[in-house]
Amino acid sequence: MYSMKGKVAIVTGGSRDIGREASIKLAAAGARVCVNYNSNKDAADETLQLIKKAGGEAIAVQGDMTKAADVTKLVDACVEAYGKSIHILVNVAGGLMGRKVLADLEEEFWDAVINVNLKSAYLAVRAVVPHMTEGGAIVNFSSQAARDGGGFGGVAYAASKGGVLSLTRGLAKELGPKGIRVNCVSPGMINTTFHNTFTKPEVRTNVANATPLRREGEAREIGDLVLYLASDASSFINGESVEINGGTYFA
């Protein structure tokens, strides 16, 4: 539906779940994709195979997106493989890392959550923007938690994702005059390993039953939204957070 022919995309955290689906959708639409992963090379290789099966082209690059040197390595590898212009950046890298209430919330844990969700996005944007020209698109990832405070023990995560909202809007104002759009996706309960790891099954069932659509979302549905926001079809959408949660929360 949306042609990405001739475009180059970086997807941080692109090896599994939502990042994988975003990578596949972009590649299938014609973009050449640089898939970043942190530690799971097998998952990254599987993503590359799925992209190839979909008729796309991609490379995988290892790197911790909380480290500036690794972000630079990712951008350099993408430029070496596909040329000096990067048209799309999708910042999926992030995570909850655990549920801790305030009494148990150590400074080190707080910093780690802020770094993986907010600092990683800032570092990636800072490194990629010099390679972007007019028509570029950045898609960040916030969360419904940024709006409603998140689940119990998720205050650090919610705060970090609230930061992503503000980062997105500030960058939209700064980069808009250069013809670069910055938006973010804010998912609710999505069927991913994130919730397999950090959310109790009974909580997931309760949330799904309370959702007007009576189900969780799927990663492929988030991938479709990423593709739209990265494409020229959304050329007048800038500084927006798109809530995708089946109707559980209205911004």
- pLDDT of 72-96, one tens digit each? 999 999 999 999 999 999 999 999 9
Best CA proximity match to 89, nearest among 180, 5, 20, 15: 180
Kind plus residue range of the DSSP H or E element containing 89:
strand 88-91
> For 167-184, how does the pLDDT look when each residue is reduced to its tens digit (9 = 90+)?
999 999 999 999 999 999
Contact 113, 156 (CB under 8 A): yes
In a domain, 115, yes or no: yes
CATH number at residue 225: 3.40.50.720
In a domain, 250, yes or no: no
Q: What are the backbone angles phi and psi of residue 59, rounded to the nearest 5°?
A: -125, 160
Query: What is the CB-side half-sphere exposure of residue 242 using CA atoms within 13 A?
Result: 20
Specify whether 122 is catalytic: no
> Distance between CA atoms of 166 and 150, rounded to whole angstroms?
17
In a domain, 62, yes or no: yes
In a domain, 29, yes or no: yes
Number of domains into which the chain is organized:
1
In a domain, 133, yes or no: yes
In a domain, 2, yes or no: no
> Distance between CA atoms of 120 and 38, rounded to whole angstroms?
12
The pLDDT mean for the chain works out to 95
The catalytic position among 2, 157, 228, 249 is 157
> For 185-228, how does the pLDDT look when each residue is reduced to its tens digit (9 = 90+)?
999 999 987 767 767 888 889 888 889 999 999 999 999 999 99
Contact 70, 125 (CB under 8 A): no
Q: Which domain holds residue 181?
A: 8-189+219-241
> Distance between CA atoms of 132 and 178, rounded to whole angstroms?
9
